[in-house]
Amino acid sequence: MGVLVHKDFDFIVQGITGREAVNFTRECLEYGSRIVGGVTPGKGGREVYGVPVYNTVREITEQRKVDGSVITVPLAFAADAAYEAIDAGIKLLVIITEGICRRDAAAFIEYAHQHDARVIGPNCLGIIIPDVCRFGSLGGPAVDCRKAFKPGVVGVMSRSGGMTTEICNALSQAGLGESTAISIGGDPVIGSTYAELMPYFEADEATEAVVLYSEPGGSSEAELARWAKENNSRLPIVAFVAGRFMDDMHGMSFGHAGTIVEKKLDSPADKIRRMRDAGISVADEIGDIPRLVQERLDGAA
Amino acid sequence: MRFYEFETKTILARRGIPVPEGSRAANAGEAASAAQELGGAVVVKAQLLVSSKAGASRSDESQAVDSPEQAATATEELLKIDDGGRGPRGVLVEKVHAATAEYSLSISYDGTAKQPLLLAADVAGNIEDIADAHPDRVVSRHFSALVPFSDYVAKEVAAGLGLNGSELNRMAGVIARLARLFLDYDLTQADIQTLARLEDGSLLAVDCFSDMEVEAKYRQKELLAEFGVGEEDTRSVREPTAFELAGKKIDDDDPRGIIGPVVEFGGNVGLVIGAGGGSLTLTDAVRKAGGDPANYAAIGGNPSVAKAVALTKLVLGKPGVDKIAVMSNVVSNTRADLVARGVIKGVIEMGFEPADKITIFRVPGAWEADAVKILNKYGVEYCDRSVSISEAAKRAVDKING
Amino acid sequence: MAMFIRVDVNDELVAATDGLAAKLIEVCPVKIFKAGADAASVAVVEDNVDECTLCDLCLQGPEGSVSIVKLYED
């Protein structure tokens, strides 16, 4: 079991001949993922670690089942790659490319919605069900990935790719493990927010608790708090909000575009208050997460 | 990236939204001439990046005056305002118009709906404050960034404000223009905090501000060139310090991996940390442990050894910093061994012993086996993945604060 | 001076292997090798040696033509 992907999940990589794509293609194959094709316009006919490269997405979807696409193309081509995948009938997109403008992201996410396709990201690393399927570049080399991600009971959602691995590593060290981990992306406009993904975890038998990593900026924590209040979820949620030092630094930029505090809702203090009000446990320290999850699991039993 | 009010008004006027008659003045003399030309009552508004968003016509940022002499005096005063380490970009001298009614319009992206969100109220001011104080007076409407903006959306909002007849059509015209320029100029926020209706029924954008997406700079070159915004000009909320500029230079000089943003703080705990989310978490963890960070950094994308050397020297060379902590989340792409080489080399090139200056090295993940060997050779404490970020930060702070 | 890595080049072996010098210059991702006195030899760029990523691409020639020594292992 798990969320969004599964052991027979077949996916392609758009931009497969790029430097980072070549790396994670090998890492995914070594991890056991089923990459059934790659796309780089003008490089059709080549191979990347045995994966055939095509000029267009349709060349692949016309001859076989494709469940998802990882998009890691240069910024200037990212929106086009998303439209191409959606028009070819692919229903799950992981968009790794960073720096996509809100206007472009909002447009192709709306287009995906109209076509019943789901977008994870932009500016994310993808999805992993430990030892079952890795869809994207979470965790690095397969050997390191297996150290950090272990099968288990916690669903993880994180706005930071690197912190997805950090938190899953901590949960694995504590013996809890992960059911599915999703790097949802660090941009202000992303395809799938915490609240939208919660029902998937809710429906997943393997998931017994959810951990999320959040940052300053944006309204997705307030949205989750509202969801938690309105839905009597069986899943305890433990959250961690990074960047509390930014509470008194309105407008300063630290990394992801999404972390700039622009509105009242955006501040870590406001997020923590809203989530606690909704019954979500908020860890004061990153190191407290596994213990809080265990406590919530024990309390629920 | 914030625009000054006079720049926002240039955009609005170009797209057919009327703004008050007036001009920008760089000094008291120019302001007096501008007031003279306009005649009668004028308002003098400091042109600021930081606080312009706080609200409409704040009394400490603008002054209403009746004569060119008063305009000059007001300008002298207003130009003393500290705008995040900068002076104001001059003042805007504008004719004062009597309003019969005031409204507020605001457009930004809503991450929940993943669409632009248009907010309107039948009272002037910062839309967030209005929404807090009078939620019943705010009309909200999402619109699509995928299809061209339709006028009916603007009419729905105008009708929601209780308008009818020519008032409705005039308001819908302003809203539609604002929505279209919001999309066309890649703005992330476009607000008219005071939209005044004059005696003759026309609408005038009196107070406004806008932010443009930094990532869109490459496709808004024409506008930015017109405003004289250079590649390096980030329009950040405060001017970068020499330390921060040095950090940016290190990042720009070597494209292999990233080390920034580098931000200067006032404390003594030197931080060589990564990556994006990891740096946020580590900075909090250091503060939680009682430490006072000297800086922020964000190592990512597998920087070269030379780049790690340069960052180490920058941080350890900062006045008040005696020791550094090298920490990150579990890394996937950035290599622990290359970071280890960089920080040790940096310390040695400054003439110090790594074991004296590097309090802790917590970079678990890719190539950590080699990192451990390097650190062992130089006697630096290594933390593996079993040591949490919180615990690593505590150990570092304890060693630094002794 | 490099502190972490040492690159040993056996000039005779490199010279004796057709195209190896050019190949070394081409494959190294951190530009440790540059053209030597003649087309059949390489010189080591000392400033770049500590950037070595241990990718082993320079070790694909005849055994002993190039060796990479980790100075932190002994």
DSSP string, B135-200: GGGEEEEE--SSSPPPHHHHHHHHHHTT--HHHHHHHHHHHHHHHHHHHHTTEEEEEEEEEEEETT
How many C-beta atoms lie closer than 10 Å to residue A251's C-beta? Answer: 17
pLDDT at res. B59: 62
| Inter-CA distances, B39 with A106, A187, B199, B205, Å | 46, 48, 19, 20
**Mean per-residue pLDDT, C21-42:** 93
Shortest Cα–Cα distance, A106 to chain B (Å): 5
C61: domain CATH number? 3.30.70.20
pLDDT at res. B393: 97
Residues with Cβ < 8 Å from A109, sequence gap 6 or more? A119, A189, A190, A191, B114
Contact B237 A256 (CB under 8 A): no
pLDDT at res. A256: 62
The secondary element (H helix, E strand) that includes residue B206 is strand B203-212
pLDDT at res. C41: 95
pLDDT at B244 over 70: yes
CATH number of B242-401, picked from 3.40.50.261, 1.10.10.920, 3.30.390.10, 3.40.50.620: 3.40.50.261
d(CA B146, CA B353): 58
In this structure, the dihedral spanned by the alpha carbons of residues B175, B176, B182 and B183, taken in order and rounded to 10 degrees, is: 160
**Mean per-residue pLDDT, A92-101:** 95
pLDDT at res. B329: 96
Average pLDDT, chain A: 94
Could you tell me the sign of the dihedral formed by the alpha carbons of B160, B164, B167, B171, in that order?
positive
Q: Give residue limits of the domains in chain B.
A: 2-226, 242-401
Neighbouring C-alpha atoms within 13 Å toward the C-beta of A243? 33
d(CA A296, CA A176): 12
Asked if residues A152 and A176 have their Cβ atoms less than 8 Å apart, the reply is yes
**Mean per-residue pLDDT, B149-161:** 98
Pairing of strands A34-39, A51-54: parallel
Nearest to B345 among C30, C50, C53 (CB): C50
Chain C residues with CB inside 8 Å of B338's CB?
51, 53
Q: Is the peptide bond before C29 cis (omega within 30 degrees of 0)?
A: no
Total structural domains in chain C? 1
Q: What three-state secondary structure class fits B402?
A: coil
Q: Residue A267's pLDDT band (boundaries 50, 70, 90)?
A: confident
Annotated catalytic residue A256: yes
Task: Give the tens place of pLDDT for each residue, A180-225.
Answer: 999 999 999 999 999 999 999 999 999 999 999 999 988 899 999 9
pLDDT at res. A51: 96
d(CA B79, CA A43): 58
User: Does B133 contact chain A (CB < 8 Å)?
Assistant: no
pLDDT at A103 over 90: yes
Structural tokens at position B338:
């290359």
E strands, chain A, are: 10-14, 34-39, 47-48, 51-54, 68-71, 92-95, 118-120, 126-129, 133-136, 151-158, 178-183, 209-214, 237-241, 281-283
Percent of chain A with pLDDT over 70: 97
Contact A250 B237 (CB under 8 A): yes
Mutate to test the interface with B, among C32, C53, C72 (most CBs of B within 10 A): C72
pLDDT at B196 over 90: yes
Structural tokens at position A100:
């996509």
B390: DSSP letter: H
B240: DSSP letter: P
Task: Give the tens place of pLDDT for each residue, B16-32.
Answer: 999 999 999 999 999 99
pLDDT at res. A212: 97
The secondary element (H helix, E strand) that includes residue B391 is helix B389-401
**Mean per-residue pLDDT, B311-339:** 95
pLDDT at C59 over 60: yes
d(CA A28, CA B227): 47
Asked if residues A71 and A109 have their Cβ atoms less than 8 Å apart, the reply is no
**Domain covering B2-226, topology:** D-amino Acid Aminotransferase; Chain A, domain 1 (3.30.470)
Q: Residue B55's pLDDT band (boundaries 50, 70, 90)?
A: very low
B207: DSSP letter: E
pLDDT at B53 over 80: no
Nearest to C50 among B341, B370, B377 (CB): B341
| Cα A72 from chain centre | 14
Shortest Cα–Cα distance, C48 to chain B (Å): 9
pLDDT at res. A20: 79
Task: Give the tens place of pLDDT for each residue, B297-319.
Answer: 999 988 999 999 999 999 999 99
Q: Residue B56's pLDDT band (boundaries 50, 70, 90)?
A: very low
Q: Residue A258's pLDDT band (boundaries 50, 70, 90)?
A: low
Contact A107 B146 (CB under 8 A): yes
User: Does B278 contact chain A (CB < 8 Å)?
Assistant: yes
Shortest Cα–Cα distance, C47 to chain B (Å): 9
d(CA B251, CA A175): 39
Average pLDDT, chain B: 94
Contact A141 B109 (CB under 8 A): no
**Mean per-residue pLDDT, B215-225:** 93
Structural tokens at position B382:
């290594």
User: Does B307 contact chain C (CB < 8 Å)?
Assistant: no
pLDDT at res. B357: 97
pLDDT at B118 over 90: yes
Select the more confidently predicted residue: B53 or A256: A256
pLDDT at B230 over 90: no
- According to CATH, the superfamily of the domain at A10-300 is Succinyl-CoA synthetase domains (3.40.50.261)
Interchain contact B/A (3 or more Cβ pairs less than 8 Å): yes
Q: Indicate the range of A49-58, B80-89, B118-127, B198-207 predicted with least confidence.
A: B80-89
Domain hosting C56: range is 5-70
